[in-house]
């Protein structure tokens, strides 16, 4: 009967987690864990990578011990197995790589923002996974996850992490040749070399790199001619176990790029960077203030973080403006001053914060149904489908625990919500009409 007990204990642990963490955290860390065996004295869990294992033990050891048997050493009785089933695809033979580059500095023209280091990147539940992945790749380039694909919304620290990897490798793997480029930069480079008939030189350069950092790959969409050259460069490097890190505003599957390139990008580790929660935003604000040499009172930090919640760049803009204003006017930082200085940035007042209620209203209007029906139990398609769309939007737009979100839908369970989210997320990739409806709802909510 042990089988059932261990399996059940694990399920109970997950239920506990669902109640205590945000949807993003759950999705990043817990959703992919599988129970391989629960029949012995320890539970065997399959985790997608070592970061998940470390994260669990670092952050939830106490809770794991509360739900699962404990070893004499005090550790929870878990045996972790790292999933080996990386989606392998057969890559074509490497493209002919030219003679080794002329020996020069190993970091030709590496331009990195000096502030974008790992040390200056503040961790919270929404970005811990991606930060560990970035640090993992930086410490063993080409040997862990390749490529590492980082995606998430604007101003959430993708470029920061990319440069963080660059800094780390430059300092700790001095012999490696790194290049960091925006996708626009890559395209411009290509255009220049095509014009100067020096394309071979460019190929030689890219193919001699050990680490390639590519920012904002979404700009490669609908640039067919360039996509192919990028894909060739990419394959050539990957085939030689050279590390590639890519950032994007969408996951690979949602990019309008060739299937070949999408499959390559999904090959390694795809990591999402979410919107930081309130505590993390406060920590970021205080860190940025410290970097700029002033102290931000706790109360003010909370005040700003409560008003600006979906973009770290705006948080930074807020304290820049605030410090400049106070210095110029010789004022103390009070809530009143903050209010005056930042009025524009506070375009979303807290009561306009996106809520399940607003989402339901917006979706009901778009689909011509009633809010009460969406909250109800009707399973007819005309109601159930918009309800799933609303659940999808709630999970995408509100950083709350799945538990709380689902109960706002008239007491649905978190697995209903997760199921709806997955279904709509898949469908939206191919269903143009649905995509438009969702965009409309989003715009509606963000105004
Ligand atoms: P993205 O590339 O995702 O649009 P950036 O990397 O340019 O975003 O980040 C925008 C700004 O926010 C940068 O100044 C960056 O340092 C800051 N930032 C974002 N996330 C964090 C974080 N977790 N800790 C500290 N600063 C952050
Ligand atoms: Mg960026």
Judged by its nearest atom, the ligand closest to the C-alpha of residue 180 is 2
pLDDT (tens digit per residue) in 428-445: 888 888 988 898 888 778
My answer on whether omega of the bond before 196 falls inside 30° of 0, hence cis, is no
DSSP structure class, residue 447:
-
How high does pLDDT run on average in the chain?
86
Q: Residues for the chain: how many in total?
A: 447
What is the enclosing helix (H) or strand (E) of 345? Answer: none
| Ligand 1 neighbour 165 (Cβ under 6 A) | no
* Predicted pLDDT at 102: 40
Nearest CA to ligand 1 atom 20: 157
pLDDT (tens digit per residue) in 201-225: 999 999 999 999 999 999 999 887 8
Nearest CA to ligand 1 atom 11: 313
Helix (H, G, I), strand (E, B), or coil: what is residue 268?
A: coil
What is the enclosing helix (H) or strand (E) of 215? Answer: strand 211-215
Nearest ligand 1 atom, CA 216: 2
pLDDT of residue 103 exceeding 70, the answer is no
Ligand 2 center from residue 153 Cα (angstroms): 9
Inter-CA distances, 80 with 13, 157, 391, Å: 16, 30, 33
Ligand 1 center from residue 328 Cα (angstroms): 27
Ligand 1 center from residue 161 Cα (angstroms): 8
Alpha-carbon distance of 371 to 364, in angstroms, equals 6
Q: Are 59 and 52 in contact, with CB atoms under 8 Å apart?
A: no
* Predicted pLDDT at 310: 79
* Predicted pLDDT at 24: 63
Ligand 1 center from residue 240 Cα (angstroms): 31
pLDDT of residue 87 exceeding 80, the answer is no
* Predicted pLDDT at 74: 87
Q: What does 152-166 look like in DSSP terms, one character per residue?
A: --TTSSHHHHHHHHH
DSSP structure class, residue 221:
T
pLDDT (tens digit per residue) in 224-236: 789 999 999 999 9
What is the enclosing helix (H) or strand (E) of 271? Answer: strand 269-272
- Map out the domains of the chain with their CATH numbers: 2-82 (3.30.300.180), 128-272 (3.40.50.300), 278-351 (1.10.8.60), 354-446 (1.10.1750.10)
Q: pLDDT-derived band of residue 98, with 50, 70 and 90 as boundaries?
A: very low
> What is the C-alpha end-to-end distance of the chain, expressed in Å?
56
**pLDDT: which is higher, 307 or 417:** 417
Judged by its nearest atom, the ligand closest to the C-alpha of residue 113 is 1
* Predicted pLDDT at 58: 84
Alpha-carbon distance of 323 to 245, in angstroms, equals 35
Nearest CA to ligand 1 atom 26: 121
Burial of 182 (0-12, 13-18, 19+ CB in 10 A): middle
pLDDT over 70, % of the chain: 91
Q: Are 157 and 117 in contact, with CB atoms under 8 Å apart?
A: no
Nearest ligand 1 atom, CA 312: 12
pLDDT of residue 336 exceeding 50, the answer is yes
List, edge to edge, every strand of the sheet that includes 269-272: 178-182, 211-215, 243-248, 148-151, 269-272
* Predicted pLDDT at 144: 84
Q: pLDDT-derived band of residue 447, with 50, 70 and 90 as boundaries?
A: low
Q: pLDDT-derived band of residue 288, with 50, 70 and 90 as boundaries?
A: very high
Q: Which long-range contacts (CB under 8 A, 24 or more apart) does 10-18 make?
A: 10/35, 10/38, 10/43, 10/45, 10/67, 10/68, 12/67, 13/63, 13/64, 13/67, 13/68, 16/63, 16/67, 17/60, 17/63, 18/401, 18/402, 18/403, 18/414
Q: Are 234 and 138 in contact, with CB atoms under 8 Å apart?
A: no
Q: Are 164 and 172 in contact, with CB atoms under 8 Å apart?
A: no
pLDDT of residue 90 exceeding 50, the answer is no
* Predicted pLDDT at 108: 59
Q: How far is CA 392 from the centre of its chain?
A: 17
Alpha-carbon distance of 200 to 249, in angstroms, equals 31
| Ligand 1 neighbour 397 (Cβ under 6 A) | no
Mean pLDDT of the region 3-28? 79
List, edge to edge, every strand of the sheet that includes 43-47: 34-37, 43-47, 78-82
**pLDDT: which is higher, 49 or 345:** 49
| Ligand 1 neighbour 284 (Cβ under 6 A) | yes
Mean pLDDT of the region 13-30? 78
| Ligand 1 neighbour 162 (Cβ under 6 A) | no
* Predicted pLDDT at 64: 92
Q: What is the reported pTM?
A: 0.64
């Amino acid at each position: 009967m042990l089988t059932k007990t261990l399996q059940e204990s694990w399920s109970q642990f997950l239920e506990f987690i669902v109640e205590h963490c945000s949807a993003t955290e759950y999705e990043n860390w817990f959703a992919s864990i599988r129970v391989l065996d629960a029949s012995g004295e320890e539970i065997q869990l399959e985790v997608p990578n070592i970061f998940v294992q470390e994260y669990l033990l670092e952050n939830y050891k106490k809770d794991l011990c509360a739900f699962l048997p404990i070893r004499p050493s005090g550790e929870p009785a878990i045996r972790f197995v790292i999933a080996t089933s990386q989606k392998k695809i057969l890559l074509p033979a490497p493209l002919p790589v030219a003679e080794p580059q002329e020996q020069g500095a190993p970091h030709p023209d590496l331009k990195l923002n000096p502030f974008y280091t790992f040390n200056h990147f503040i961790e919270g539940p929404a970005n811990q996974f991606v930060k560990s992945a970035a640090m993992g790749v930086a410490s063993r380039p080409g040997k862990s996850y390749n490529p590492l694909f980082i995606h998430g919304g604007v101003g959430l620290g993708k470029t920061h992490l990319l440069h963080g990897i660059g800094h780390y490798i430059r300092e700790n793997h001095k012999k490696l040749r790194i290049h960091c480029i925006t996708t626009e930069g890559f395209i411009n480079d290509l255009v220049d070399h095509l014009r100067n008939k020096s394309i071979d030189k460019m190929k030689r350069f890219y193919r001699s790199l050990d680490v390639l950092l590519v920012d904002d790959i979404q700009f490669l969409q609908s640039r067919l001619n360039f996509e192919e050259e990028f894909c060739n460069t990419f394959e050539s490097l990957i085939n030689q176990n050279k590390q590639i890190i890519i950032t994007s505003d969408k996951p690979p599957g949602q990019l309008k790029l060739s299937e070949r390139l999408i499959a390559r990008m999904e090959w390694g580790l795809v990591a999402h960077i979410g919107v930081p929660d309130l505590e993390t935003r406060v920590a970021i604000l205080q860190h940025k203030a410290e970097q700029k040499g002033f102290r931000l009172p706790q109360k003010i930090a909370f005040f700003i973080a409560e008003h600006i919640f979906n973009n770290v760049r705006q948080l930074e803009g807020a304290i820049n403006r605030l410090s400049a204003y106070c210095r110029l006017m010789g004022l103390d930082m009070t809530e009143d001053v903050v209010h005056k200085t930042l009025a524009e940035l506070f375009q979303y007042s807290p009561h306009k914060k996106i809520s399940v209620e607003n989402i339901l209203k917006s979706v009901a209007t778009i689909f011509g149904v009633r809010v009460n029906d969406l909250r109800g139990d009707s399973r007819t398609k005309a109601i159930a489908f918009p309800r799933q769309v609303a659940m999808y939007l709630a999970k995408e737009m509100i950083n709350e625990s799945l538990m709380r979100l689902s109960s706002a839908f008239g007491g649905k369970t978190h697995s209903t919500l997760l199921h709806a989210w997955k279904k709509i997320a898949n469908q939206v990739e191919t269903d143009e009409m649905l995509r438009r409806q969702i965009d409309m709802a989003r715009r509606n909510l963000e105004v």
